Each structure stands twice: as structure tokens, then as C-alpha cells.
Amino acid sequence: MFEGRCGSAQAHIKSVRQFKTLGNRWRTVYAAEGLARLAINRGQAETAVRLFAWVDALRQTMNLPRGPVEQADLERELAAIRETIGEEVYAAAYAEGRAITTAQAIAFAGAQLENHDDFCASCHTDPESEFVNRAHGGTAVDLASFHTGEGVHCIDCHSGEGVNGRSHATSIYSPAMYD
């Protein structure tokens, strides 16, 4: 639904929170599945498995099973993921996903889906996109390219605890916000 747009994971997360608060079970599940599909689209197999397992638990709790066609499509996608990551990793990720709360799933999804420099640069145009382009250029010519060489990502400085400019992103993914 929101793939390719800045804040796509954030938009799904806000939707899950709002629809859950409103008691709209169908839309809560739909937004939750959007997070899991986003993980598939970004090639994050284990994240997708954990999130689909969480959605399965939500669906079970809410008594909202998937339709047969939707279930068959998902089973094909998950079988391909299982083949890629192996049965043991798949089973562990699925078990973890089934056991997490909505608050934990939201925090996990936010951390996993938006923790990439290219995600940041997809919205933050000049000068941010230039920083990312230079950072991946190979030669350290500025702070962004030096950071990349040291394994530091945009999100490490611009999201998380401890810095005023990072407090918004932290609050978005804080499990306490969704309990």
C-alpha cells in the first residue's frame, strides 16, 4: 500500500495503532499484514516470517481467518522463504513472532524496516541523498562517507534514544506507545 514512500513502515504502524484503538479488527489485521508484506518486498525474510506469525496470532485472537485464495498465496510465499532461510531459522522466527505482543511487533517492525540508509535517502533529498551517494562512493570525503566506511548508518545518529533530534523516531517505535 505505501511501498516506496517515505514513512511506509511508519504509516502501517500508525494504522495498526489507530485501527486497534478504534476496534476495527479487519483494518488492524490489514495494516499488520502490510508490515509483513513490506518486509518481503525489502528482502527481509526473517522479519517477514516474524511479522506474519504475529499476524497469524492476531487473526486467531480476533477470529479473522484468511480467505482460501489469500491463504494459498501466503503459503506459497512463506514456502519460498522457508526454502531460502532453512527450516530451523524459519521455525525459530515463526515461534518468536507468535509470542510477541502488538507493542513488541510494532517496535520490531519499525526497527527492522526503516533501519537502512537508502530508506532515509528515499525521502530526504538534497543534501541527504547526496550524502548517501557519496557515502557509497568508496572514498571518504565527508562525515557521511567516513561513517559508512566505519559501519555507521543514518539511523544510528538520526533515530533512537539520547538525542533530542532522535526522540520522535524513538517514540514512534516505543512499545509503551502501543500497549
- Radius of gyration of the chain from its Cα atoms, rounded to whole angstroms: 18
What residue type is 41 in one-letter code? Answer: N
The whole-angstrom separation of Cα 59 and Cα 151 is: 39
What residue type is 81 in one-letter code? Answer: I
The whole-angstrom separation of Cα 154 and Cα 11 is: 20
The whole-angstrom separation of Cα 179 and Cα 171 is: 13
Cell readout for 119 is 530508506
pLDDT tens-digit profile of 116-160? 555 555 555 555 556 666 666 666 666 666 666 666 666 666 654
Whose CA is closest to 53, among 82, 14, 25, 26?
Answer: 82
pLDDT tens-digit profile of 37-67? 888 888 889 999 999 999 999 999 999 999 9
Whose CA is closest to 175, among 111, 116, 87?
Answer: 111
Model confidence band, residue 96 (pLDDT cutoffs 50, 70, 90): very high
Average pLDDT taken over every residue of the chain: 75
| Domain extent listing, the chain | 8-114
Whose CA is closest to 59, among 78, 38, 40, 31?
Answer: 31
